Structure 1
Amino acid sequence: MRNKPDDRRDNVDRIQFNIDKTIQNCELADEMIAKTSDENMKQTLEEKNNRRESALKNMKEEIKDEAIDKENGYR
């Protein structure tokens, strides 16, 4: 059985989609934080947003690398 070849052609688009959805989730969580009076819920959402911010930073670095590789023909 042979492994599938590594197909990275859609990585930039896929990562950009993930970045967009993560930003959207952060914004929705911020709206919920503003609306809720439940301190536990606020804390949970703030913690999630902190993790999302960290993930966004990593995804932005990854998309830069993938864009460079794409320009270079994935050599």
Structure 2
Amino acid sequence: MTYNNKPNPDDRSDNVEKLQSMITNTIQNMEAAEESLAFTDSEEQRQQIKAKNQRRRESIESFRAEIKDEAHRTEE
């Protein structure tokens, strides 16, 4: 039995759009989490929300760096 598994072609044509959408969604999630802080009395939960938002900030920075990389690839 022969398998002809070929990888899909690398289509990066919409990467910047996808990354921008991911940034927008992440920012919306951060804002919702910040709003939820007003409704929790648990210090543990507050710390978890703050830690998660910090990770989200780091992700946004990574997304932005990747957008810059994609922009350089299209210029070449």
TM-score computed with the length of structure 2 as normaliser: 0.85
Partners of 2:58 and 2:32 in 1: CA distance = 17
Confirm whether residue 26 of structure 1 aligns to residue 27 of structure 2: no
Q: Percent identity?
A: 43
Partner of 2:66: 62
Partner of 2:52: 48
Which sections of structure 2, spanning at least 5 residues, go unmatched? none
Deviations 1:14-62 (A, max 9, x none): 1001000000011011101122211111111011001001111111100
Divergent runs of 4+, >4 A: none
Shift of residue 9, structure 1, vs aligned partner:
0.4
**Equivalenced residues, count:** 72
Amino acid at match of 1:22: T
Shift of residue 3, structure 1, vs aligned partner:
1.5
Which sections of structure 1, spanning at least 5 residues, go unmatched? none
The CA RMSD over aligned residues, in Å, is 1.1
